[in-house]
Amino acid sequence: MADDVKTKVIEILAEQAVLEPGDIAMDQTLEDLGIDSLGLVESIFAIEEAFDISVPFNANDPQAGDFDISSVAAIVGAVEGLVAAQKG
Amino acid sequence: MRRVVITGAGTINALGASVAETLEAMREGRCGIGRLDIRDVDRLTVQIGAQVRDYDEAAHFNRQQIALYDRFTQFALLAADEAIAQSGLTFEGPLAARAGVVMGTSGGGLNTQDENYRAVYEDGKNRVHPFVVPKLMNNAATSHVSMQHNLKGPSFTVATACASSNHAMGQAFQMIRAGMTDVMVTGGTEAMLCFGGVKAWEGLRVMSKDACRPFSATRNGMVQGEGAGMFVFEEYEHARARGAEILAEVAGFAMSSDASDIVMPSKQGAARAIAGAVSDAGIPLESVGYINAHGTGTAANDKTECAAVADVFGHHANDLMISSTKSMHGHLIGGTGAVELLACLMALRDGVVAPTIGYEEPDPECALDVVPNEAREARVDVALSNAFAFGGLNAVLALKRA
């Protein structure tokens, strides 16, 4: 299950960044990937749709919702947490 | 050059059903934002808005009219009635032939669209009311105001999202100044507070779930409002000759396009519009005493707007007042500049500057005098009204004390 989440999240971020999933490293930031605020909102929407979860995120204050977007690894971890909490 | 003045004002919005009620609420720093009372509100993540409450359409319009008037048209008609009554004008003969209506709206008949999409998609109906199109079209409000008041001159609707009504009023101003007409009815109207209207905004993740706190470090997004603001713009000599009461002079207008991003604002684009309006008015920058900010309460707008004001005014930015009344009446999108122009009229006429309510904590990136929480008495000779739309389309009006 955990690997599925990771694979899917990376796919979503790769599509947004116009990269191959294999080109994305876990320690990269959204800035490294060239994903801006609009791209982030679109990625979150894609994540919500893919996992049928609700991601707490306000573009005015990206840190507020406890959804860590500091790196690819952080996002994968946050999505795993939400999937476990909302689908468990 | 021909000068343009305002001889009538009208409104309905979450703060009141008239200009007097609205200005009283602004003076008192009252908040019109509350829990939305709309269908399916439980399925919304954002459940607040600045709704026009205790509104009974049947108290104002008959059954035949209601069949044709979406909520945004109703608001426009009510506000126009008040503005035209105050102006004392009756539109007949040559005056009527040249006087028109230019109005801003973004969503048009969104409630009508929402209800009828629901009927065909969710309820599976295969038939809709015959007047769906004339009711939802963006120019419906303009056309009904024109019909109601016999305004037969140049008339159209302007849609530039959050700057719609400022673009509309700027257009009316320029038409009178250019000699095309002596009188225009102008402003904006919006009624987007329906399930689909709020749901669409939710998607962008820029809406606050609790309050609109412009310029405050604790701000967390915008809150939608609804309503209309309408004005009678009139050529100065025409107004003077008939002894009309002049509420303020529309002295300048400028617009610009950021040409950069579809949602993120640009300091340069905003600054060019602000500086342009002052320059168009032919007044020194130091004469500006008050700016009604676009002030949406989003992280991005408020800091960009403050930076633009600081760039344009330099040292004088610290001496002028800038407040966002969206903290009280919400963001009326295509109608917002029109309702906000009322705060400019209050500053110029009554010497009362409307506050930015909900202000909790200073933000170093918004370090201007934002008139926090309480209205202030001050003599203001020139006021600006800012509007910066999604899509990077900016429109700023400059008003002078009569």
- The average confidence (pLDDT) of chain B is 98
B chain contacts of residue A38, beta-carbon cutoff 8 Å = 261-264
Assess contact for B264 and B297: CB atoms under 8 A: no
- Residue in B144, B167, B238, B294 annotated catalytic: B294
A chain contacts of residue B260, beta-carbon cutoff 8 Å = none
pTM, full prediction: 0.95
A chain contacts of residue B300, beta-carbon cutoff 8 Å = 60
The three-state DSSP-derived secondary structure of chain B is CCCEEEEEEEEEECCECCHHHHHHHHHHCCCCCEECCCCCHHHCCCCEEECCCCCCHHHCCCHHHHHHCCHHHHHHHHHHHHHHHHHCCCCCHHHHHHCEEEEECCCCCHHHHHHHHHHHHHCCCCCCCCCHHHHHCCCHHHHHHHHHHCCCCCCEEECCHHHHHHHHHHHHHHHHHCCCCCEEEEEEEECCCCHHHHHHHHHCCCECCCCCCCCCCCCCCECEECEEEEEEEEEHHHHHHCCCCCCEEEEEEEEEECCCCCCCCCHHHHHHHHHHHHHHHCCCHHHEEEEECCCCCCHHHHHHHHHHHHHHHHHHHHCCEEECCHHHHCECHHHHHHHHHHHHHHHHHHCEECCECCCCCCCHHHCCECCECCCEECCCCEEEEEEEECCCEEEEEEEECC
Separation in Å, CA of A56 to nearest CA in chain B: 9
pLDDT in tens, B303-315: 999 999 999 999 9
* E strands, chain A, in order: none
B322 token code pair:
């800038």
Q: Which residues contact A39 (CB under 8 A, 6 or more apart)?
A: A16, A17, A30
Q: Which residues contact A76 (CB under 8 A, 6 or more apart)?
A: A5, A6, A9, A10, A26
Choose the closest CB to A60 out of B261, B263, B298.
B298
Choose the closest CB to A60 out of B220, B261, B262.
B220
Q: What is the pLDDT of residue A61?
A: 83
Q: Domain residues for A38?
A: 2-87
**Domains in chain A, number:** 1
B59 token code pair:
């108290």
Q: Do B206 and A58 touch (CB under 8 A)?
A: yes
Residues of chain B with pLDDT under 70: none
Residue A63: pLDDT above 90?
no
Separation in Å, CA of A37 to nearest CA in chain B: 9
Q: What is the pLDDT of residue A87?
A: 81
Query: Computed from CA positions of residues B120, B123, B124, B126, in that sequence, does the dihedral angle turn out positive or negative?
Result: negative
List of domains in chain B: 4-241 (3.40.47.10), 254-400 (3.40.47.10)
Separation in Å, CA of A42 to nearest CA in chain B: 9
pLDDT in tens, B271-285: 999 999 999 999 999
Which of B46, B48, B205, B213 to probe by mutation at the A interface, max A CB count within 10 Å?
B205
Q: What is the pLDDT of residue B133?
A: 97
Q: What is the pLDDT of residue A66?
A: 81
A41 touches chain B (CB under 8 A): yes
Q: What is the pLDDT of residue A1?
A: 56
Residue A2: pLDDT above 80?
no
Q: What is the pLDDT of residue B263?
A: 92
Q: Which residue of A has its CA nearest to B207?
A: A58
pLDDT in tens, B50-71: 999 999 999 999 999 999 999 9
Measured between alpha carbons, how far is A33 from B244 in angstroms, rounded to an integer?
62
Choose the closest CB to A60 out of B203, B221, B262.
B221
With CA atoms as reference, report the closest residue to B293 among B374, B388, B357: B388
Predicted ipTM? 0.81
Q: Which residues contact B94 (CB under 8 A, 6 or more apart)?
A: none
CA-based Rg of chain B, rounded to a whole angstrom? 20
The amino acid that residue B386 corresponds to is N
Which CATH number characterizes residue A24's domain?
A: 1.10.1200.10
Q: What is the pLDDT of residue B202?
A: 95
